[in-house]
Amino acid sequence: MKIILGIPDLRLPIWDLGIPVMINQLSWEKIPWNNETWVDSGGYQILMRGLSLNLEAVYKKYLYLNANVFMSLDKPVSPCSSVPKENFSNFEYLYHKLDSKEIIPVVHAYKLEDLKKAIDFYKSYGVRKIAYGGIVPPTMGQKGSRSLVKHIYKFIRKSLESRWIHVLGAGSPYMRKVFHDAESVDTSTYRIKAIHGMIIIPGKGERYVGERKIVWRVKRASEEELETLYSFLDSTYFPFKPDLTHWKTRSMINAWVLINSSYENKKVQEADLTFNELEAKIGEECDKLSRTLL
């Protein structure tokens, strides 16, 4: 699985680790490194800021950004909604206008009928990669939606067995286990956790190392866990001095751990469901979700 780390600005030289990175086209005018670079369209941020989706502006930005992969401009929707028509037309526009660049379409957690429509539409273009996004990982924190997210992903995975699937925002240690058979994921969790005083312990997950009283559900790092971390950094030749007192160094440590370790998951492997079983479960869960919104 390829892990791609999001970069919001130049304050943290994460590119020095020589890893694939992802930027948001809203925030960047040029790319100052040689790393493999993926570009997000910023569709979610545009909607959150109350702006209109400007396809021409995205096209012009994609035209001169020297990157490897570009996400299509899509309109995120709530789980079990219909697919917006502009998601198809935006992809077609970028796909044809930027025929020398790789444009990745994004499939969201649409209602079953539209999920099938979206998959068939993008398959007809022979794209090599398709992204799953829009509700991952925020919806994973809502108990009623966790199984829906997983079942829709499994339906997409089963429908696209020979294609590359990228899961947006799912690069944390736990999420990588949930989407273990995806070809790639991206995340900015390494930085967000570090800012809030957390580090990622190899094989365990996040632990708190800050000086403040813990006000969220995360354990404080034990001496044994810190020793595990330092030993891991030493054995994998971490290129910086491991200082846990500053968020920037914690960020670099977290990034290094993410790309060089895995997460211990003691849960039993879930059974492989047939298409009919997945369709039934998605239908039931969408019905249940619609009833809770009434």
CATH, residue 287? 3.20.20.105
Q: In this structure, are 161 and 206 located in the same domain?
A: no
With contact defined as beta carbons under 8 Å apart, do 125 and 162 qualify? no
3-state helix, strand, coil in the chain (%, to 5): 40, 15, 45
Which residues in the chain land under pLDDT 50? Answer: 268
Q: In this structure, are 117 and 200 located in the same domain?
A: no
Our CA dihedral for 277, 279, 284, 290, rounded to 10 degrees, sits at 160
Q: What is the residue-wise DSSP string for 74-130?
A: -----TTPPPPHHHHHHHHHHHHHTTTSEEE-EE----HHHHHHHHHHHHTTT-SEE
Q: In this structure, are 207 and 231 located in the same domain?
A: yes
Residues 6 or more apart whose Cβ sits within 8 Å of residue 181:
157
Domain count, the chain: 2
pLDDT in tens, 184-200: 999 999 999 999 999 99
pLDDT at 268: 45
Q: In this structure, are 130 and 229 located in the same domain?
A: no
With contact defined as beta carbons under 8 Å apart, do 195 and 188 qualify? no
Nearest CA among 140, 247, 153, 168 for reference residue 3: 168
Q: What is the residue-wise DSSP string for 44-76?
A: HHHHHTT----HHHHHHHHHH---SEEE-----
pLDDT at 138: 53
pLDDT in tens, 3-41: 999 999 999 999 999 999 999 999 999 999 999 999 999
Radius of gyration in angstroms for the set of CA atoms belonging to the chain, rounded to a whole number: 20
pLDDT at 264: 59
Cβ neighbour number for residue 141 with a 10 Å cutoff = 8
| Residue 172: both structure tokens together | 């944390």
Q: In this structure, are 48 and 148 located in the same domain?
A: yes
Q: Which residues form the domain of 281? A: 2-187+264-292
Q: In this structure, are 101 and 219 located in the same domain?
A: no
| Residue 67: both structure tokens together | 């990157």
Q: In this structure, are 124 and 252 located in the same domain?
A: no
Q: What is the overall mean pLDDT for the chain?
A: 91
Q: In this structure, are 154 and 126 located in the same domain?
A: yes
pLDDT at 179: 92
- AA letter at 244: L
With contact defined as beta carbons under 8 Å apart, do 59 and 38 qualify? no
pLDDT in tens, 268-290: 467 789 999 999 999 999 999 88
Q: In this structure, are 140 and 283 located in the same domain?
A: yes
Q: In this structure, are 236 and 288 located in the same domain?
A: no
Q: In this structure, are 124 and 246 located in the same domain?
A: no
Q: In this structure, are 84 and 176 located in the same domain?
A: yes
